[in-house]
Amino acid sequence: MNELGPFQAMWRAWDEVDDELKAKPLAHFERSVAIQFEELRDHLAAGDREAAVREAVDVVSIGLNCLRWLGLDPAQVAEAAQSRTTNRMQGRAREILDKYERLHGI
For the full predicted model, state whether its pTM sits above 0.85.
yes
Q: Which CATH class is domain 5-104?
A: mainly alpha
What is the reported pLDDT for 1?
74
Phi first, then psi, for residue 88 (nearest 5°) are -120, -40
Amino acid at 66: C
Tell how far CA 33 is from the center of its chain: 8
Domain boundaries, the chain: 5-104
pLDDT tens per residue, range 42-85: 999 999 999 999 999 999 999 999 999 999 999 999 999 999 99
